[in-house]
């Protein structure tokens, strides 16, 4: 076995959603360094083009799609197989957070918007991505994204978001049970506070300071610190890990 962080990923096709986001960019960059070929998916073409232009390696593809459109998932996955040569990894990061500091302010649209992107679209894309992995018979890796909110119930006006991320943990476990027979592992990464637009938008500075104070490592992580565990989970070294929720929170929560 080759002992490197991205062992086994050279030439593998990787689909990353939320690729233009704070963590998504770092995940794309990290996969690029492993020799994998990446399809970077996000809402705006110019932004994913920029992500791909900055990546190491070759054969990467930038695609603009709104993942709430479930009919776009099959064509997206087929395009990944055709243009990357295969599809071995799905890293599903796309998500939205609408903070409402009072639950009385939460609207039905707030609920639907966050659950449609954060949970519903993730399930259907995971299912679509698993099909060519099963057909290829080479196993595969699905990495979903939860949040510490799945455990805490959400801090800083994020109860609806937290509920969607709790759904991610349950769904990840269910998919791991379903897909294990095909050699496909399914795991969730649960970041703590990470320095990205999602964290900082609308966040009360006092809440931000208290988050830092409650983190044993004493700081808010940079996106690269989340990308490492994602690449690890996709690599050969994580072959016996499935159904897990990997807590990457600087000790903010311990589980």
Identified catalytic residue from 88, 101, 161, 252: 161
With binding defined as CB under 6 A, does residue 167 bind ligand NAD?
no
Binding to ligand NAD in span 188-247, by CB under 6 A: 191, 193-194, 196-199
Min. distance of Cβ 199 from ligand NAD in angstroms? 4
Is residue 30 a contact partner of residue 24, using CB atoms and an 8 Å limit? Answer: no
Binding to ligand NAD in span 22-81, by CB under 6 A: 22-24, 42-43, 66-68
Is residue 203 a contact partner of residue 155, using CB atoms and an 8 Å limit? Answer: no
Min. distance of Cβ 153 from ligand NAD in angstroms? 14
Binding to ligand NAD in span 128-147, by CB under 6 A: 145, 147
Is residue 89 a contact partner of residue 15, using CB atoms and an 8 Å limit? Answer: yes
Which residue's C-beta sits nearest to ligand NAD?
21
With binding defined as CB under 6 A, does residue 171 bind ligand NAD?
no
Q: How many CB atoms neighbour CB 171 within 10 A? A: 19
CA distance 32 to 29: 5
CA distance 134 to 63: 24
Nearer residue to ligand NAD within complex by CB, 88 or 161: 161
Is residue 145 a contact partner of residue 125, using CB atoms and an 8 Å limit? Answer: no
Bridge partners for 143 per DSSP: 91, 187
The question of whether 161 is a catalytic residue gets the answer yes
CA gyration radius, the chain: 17
With binding defined as CB under 6 A, does residue 158 bind ligand NAD?
no
Residues taking part in catalysis: 161
Q: List contacts with ligand NAD (CB under 6 A).
A: 17-18, 20-24, 42-43, 66-68, 93-96, 117, 145, 147, 191, 193-194, 196-199
């Amino acid at each position: 076995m080759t002992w490197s962080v991205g062992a086994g990923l050279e030439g593998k096709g990787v689909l990353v959603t939320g690729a233009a986001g704070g963590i998504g960019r770092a995940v794309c960059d990290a996969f690029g360094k492993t020799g994998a070929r990446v399809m970077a998916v996000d809402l705006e073409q110019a932004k994913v083009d920029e992500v791909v232009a900055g990546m190491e390696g070759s054969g990467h593809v930038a695609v603009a799609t709104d993942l709430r459109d479930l009919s776009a998932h099959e064509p997206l996955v087929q395009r990944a197989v055709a243009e990357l040569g295969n599809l071995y990894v799905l890293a599903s990061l796309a998500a939205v957070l609408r903070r409402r500091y009072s639950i009385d302010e939460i609207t039905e649209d707030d609920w639907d918007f966050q659950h449609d992107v954060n949970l519903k679209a993730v399930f259907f894309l995971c299912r679509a991505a698993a099909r060519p992995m099963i057909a290829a018979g080479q196993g595969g890796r699905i990495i979903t994204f939860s949040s510490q909110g799945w455990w805490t119930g959400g801090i800083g006006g994020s109860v609806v978001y937290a509920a969607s991320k709790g759904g991610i943990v349950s769904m990840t476990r269910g998919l791991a049970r379903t897909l294990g027979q095909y050699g496909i592992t399914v795991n969730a990464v649960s970041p703590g506070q990470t320095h990205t637009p999602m964290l900082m938008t609308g966040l009360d500075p006092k809440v931000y300071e208290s988050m830092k104070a409650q983190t044993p490592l004493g700081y808010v992580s940079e996106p690269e610190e989340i990308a490492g565990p994602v690449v690890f989970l996709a690599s050969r070294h994580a072959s016996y890990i499935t159904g897990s929720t990997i807590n990457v929170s600087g000790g903010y929560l311990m589980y």
